[in-house]
Amino acid sequence: MKLDFVHIADIGSHVGREVTLKGWLYHKRSSGKIHFLQFRDGTGTIQGVMAKSEVDQGTFELGEGVTQESSVMVRGLVREDKRAPSGYELTVKSLEILQLTQDYPITPKEHGPAFLMENRHLWLRSSRQHAALRVRDTIEQAIHGFFHREGFIHTPAPILTPTACEGTTTLFQTDYFGQPAFLSQSGQMYIEATAAAFGKVYTFTPAFRAEKSKTRRHLTELWMVDAEASFFEHAENMQCQEGMVCAVVERVLNDCQAELKTLERDTAPLEKIKGPFPRISYKEAVELCNKAGVQIEYGEDFGAPHDTAIAGSFDRPVFVDRFPTSIKSFYMQPDPQDPTVVLGSDLYATEGYGEIIGGSQRIHDLDLLLKKMEEHKVPYEPYKWYVDLRRYGSVPHSGFGIGIERTVCWICGLSHIRESIPFPRMLEKIYP
RNA sequence: UCCAGCGUAGCUCAAUGGUAGAGCUCCCGGCUGUUAACCGGGUUGUUGGAGGUUCGAGCCCUCCCGCUGGAGCCA
């Protein structure tokens, strides 16, 4: 596409030429007879220098009056300059103000999280937020790329569903032509069906959790990638997860150095993310916790301090598998060696970022699934279609789900999940 | 749902129970290499709300509202 203006990201290929930029005034410093005008256009930022001796009086006054976040069109000469962080500067020849902004709320000074969240629609323009969401985009692209290279087909799961996936978790309810419907909390069961149709599949869909969780790790609306593969057993499932995580980290390190620098992310821990990841059993994890001084009984589920103790013992993500049947979902395949545990795994990220993936081999035996449903008091009628998958050409199959926002937090080194998505939906918060 | 902390200027925060302040934003002036620029001057208040104790409450007490973090649950 041929445009009559250039993007800042491409500025390096226009050195020595006069170009037009369209964007916003990010920041300004002035020194009497010279203005330093920081422009941004979404692709990057560049400093424009406007000297009084080099422009006419009207232009210089425009430079003096232009305010933070005014939309502008600027024409100038591109130069290389060692003093500029990006290596390039613009000698401004003319400036047109498309709209003069008055009293932009987010100043270059400090602000609290409540104020910034009230102004999330504007906060997105700030460099840190901009960088994190660009990394998010790269992560999403890397995931799509990985699955397609591995022969997975994207089969979206529905968001409006007639029943709860796992029954226990709180769901958002809505009205569907007079019938109750629920916003999906996972696409997993639906892609077990598409996996039987296409072999290897994934879905990249929002998931909704109405739990009253109020921490820096929780959203009520989050994005999940669920993958499912026919004929994959527990070991292949973990291998696939490991491959995906490595591909994502590698891609971000390759494409997002500037963003990681803006985020002040230490990339050394990320450079170490290479397979194979350690694999320990739930039993070993319990022993590890108790040895580390974080008490836990065999049979209890891990809490936040246990996550930290487990993940803190490794410099790569770690799989914990073979959880007691009692603390996991009804559809997980029991371990043939020890039916009191299931062939399910959680993957913990490094540096205390917690669980990012949960996966398991699913029960493929019809009678066993029916028995487990009865034990867990899962009603048959709404799940008849799910049981059918075990009735018509059932095969061993496995899958997993990865939380996008937690992955973004981990890779970007963010301290709060609200910065990992443009418009976070948190407990009782839905503005803007 | 439970626990903890916090609500003072547009923003970030001060203020022994005794006259409500600073920095920044913004406005005016100065400065030709600034990087959250700097220097000088100026504008800015129903101290979240209601009630109470007190000669006197931003500060103490009660209730309510809002915000932030954590627990549980999870990704």
Per the structure, the complete domain to which residue A129 belongs is given by: 120-420
CATH number for the domain spanning A81: value is 2.40.50.140
- Taking the CA of residue A112 and the C1' sugar atom of nucleotide B7, their distance in angstroms comes to 13
* In a domain? residue A115: no
The number of domains in chain A is 2
Look at chain A and count its residues: 432
Q: Are residues A294 and A380 in the same domain?
A: yes
Q: Are residues A92 and A128 in the same domain?
A: no
Q: Are residues A212 and A316 in the same domain?
A: yes
Q: Is the CB of residue A33 inside 7 Å of nucleic acid strand B?
A: yes
Q: Are residues A394 and A255 in the same domain?
A: yes
Q: Which of A33, A26, A75 is nearest to A52 (CA)?
A: A33
**Which ipTM did the prediction report?**
0.89
CATH number for the domain spanning A220: value is 3.30.930.10
Please compute, for residue A271, the number of CA atoms within 13 A of its CA located in the half-sphere on the CB side.
6
- Taking the CA of residue A53 and the C1' sugar atom of nucleotide B31, their distance in angstroms comes to 15
* In a domain? residue A88: yes
Q: Are residues A276 and A416 in the same domain?
A: yes
* In a domain? residue A429: no
pLDDT in tens, A347-402: 999 998 989 999 999 999 999 999 999 988 888 888 999 999 999 999 999 999 99
Q: Are residues A93 and A152 in the same domain?
A: no
**Strand B, nucleotides covered by protein (CB < 7 Å):** 1-2, 10-13, 23-27, 30-38, 67-75
pLDDT, position A165 = 52
- Taking the CA of residue A373 and the C1' sugar atom of nucleotide B29, their distance in angstroms comes to 79
* In a domain? residue A426: no
pLDDT in tens, A13-48: 999 999 999 999 999 998 889 999 999 999 999 999
- Taking the CA of residue A374 and the C1' sugar atom of nucleotide B74, their distance in angstroms comes to 24
* In a domain? residue A105: no
pLDDT, position A214 = 85
Q: Are residues A250 and A395 in the same domain?
A: yes
Q: Are residues A93 and A130 in the same domain?
A: no
Q: Tell me: pLDDT of A332 over 60.
A: yes
Question: Which has more pLDDT, A247 or A185?
Answer: A247
- Taking the CA of residue A297 and the C1' sugar atom of nucleotide B71, their distance in angstroms comes to 18
Q: Are residues A82 and A137 in the same domain?
A: no
Kindly state the DSSP code that residue A157 receives in the 8-state scheme. Answer: P
CA separation, residue A418 to residues A124, A125, A136, A423, A430 (Å): 12, 15, 13, 8, 12
Query: Using an 8 Å Cβ cutoff, are A231 and A395 in contact?
Result: yes
Q: Are residues A209 and A244 in the same domain?
A: yes
Percent over 70 (pLDDT), chain A: 99
* In a domain? residue A49: yes
pLDDT band for A151, please (50, 70, 90 cuts).
very high
pLDDT, position A170 = 79
pLDDT in tens, A74-128: 999 999 998 888 889 999 999 999 999 988 999 887 788 889 998 999 999 999 9
Nucleic strand B contact set for A 202-241 (CB, < 7 Å): 209, 211-220, 222, 224
Q: Which of A410, A288, A399 is nearest to A333 (CA)?
A: A399
Percent over 90 (pLDDT), chain A: 75
Q: Which nucleotide is nearest to A403 (CA to C1')?
A: B75
Q: Tell me: pLDDT of A210 over 90.
A: no
What letter represents residue A100's amino acid?
L
